[in-house]
A and B are shown apart, each in its own frame.
Chain A
């Protein structure tokens, strides 16, 4: 018994821990700006390099206890502090860290700087300091106030942003701004009368229920076969044709209902009752909320 409980407990722990890990695995380094001259300012009015983390999942993910680093040999360089509610990233949202080597300025100021003269490797490690969640190497020589960013949030290629045509630098906001629902617009353009959608959707509905039909037709046939075999054994019949003629295995529910009713009549309903009459006082649970219950009438029940 104890082993069983222990097994269930271990399974639960594994499930929960894997779910936890799965959430953090959805974090991505999304955009990095190394030389900040006239770009985003922190709460102190300073312009420093910044690193944006994006939560690609559809659930909130807390980055506390994870590590940010620019040193492959020191994965635990900046532990993201516990106890700050702002470390929780809402679904599909961002968090910005300032690479200003001023950790005493708060949770989001890391203890390293980025060097514009050389390639900067940045890594985000899980709370164990071993599992690398995401990393990026920001190439040297990116112009001031230009960022190195993913084309789309959390996925895709990296590009340099900041020039006309290459897209805007977008600290703490989406790299791609969605100002329309593309799916809806596609349907409006390509299927203005809804015929395509209707045909496609009905096809899927029919396919689903057709598959269910085929499957349960097969299961039903197997069930009838098993019942028939059992019935043949009980009736001592070995000839399949005879069994088919007698409809063995295909009895309707009505037959079983009739048998059940006959048994009930035989076993439960008596022509002569035992004539014991017991009168019990109606007991109703007392509570201060219904103390007047004896003087109230029953809830009306319209027949």
Chain B
């Protein structure tokens, strides 16, 4: 397993730029992302400075077009910044090659998407296996890991169902199981409750918080829902591609 963190301890004194670099899993220095060029260029992020400590649960909020999804893509190694420095652990993501980024996404980062993004032709179990298959496990190990993960998210016995046979909440649980099956250090959730009713959304958030407390992994979730943000230990507000503010519960989170 690739490890990019030095530990999961948190530091009591934090600001937007984390006070202790050794604790930071993410460090962003003047990160800018511009789509297109010339007259049609659109600046999605501009000069973002940010540190996220290992083991933090961070909510990124902002209106549509504020740059929160772009920020999540950069944090997930799905895209590279146009300028500035973005490091995950000791690795400069902006300079990493495609294969390195794929390896980091496979082993270090888990993704949860708003639309669940399950593969419609695969069963719930296989949708979890799909994330671990590139690690080269044999079939039985792969199935066992998937089954254990589905069990962990409360879907024991649903492994043989297709996504179309599952409710939205169950599909998002499968997606969470898929994101966690390789035991990543970071979980990036993109509007994880955006496609769910409020009660189900609450359950999913509860599950994420529970997993966060148990595993000590870093969770960054993007949301436009103020209620979700209010429950998060640290909230970063984005507006027009810049960090507009931050709220933090001191010493909240890792327990």
Do A and B form a real pair?
no
A residues near B (Cβ < 8 Å) are: none
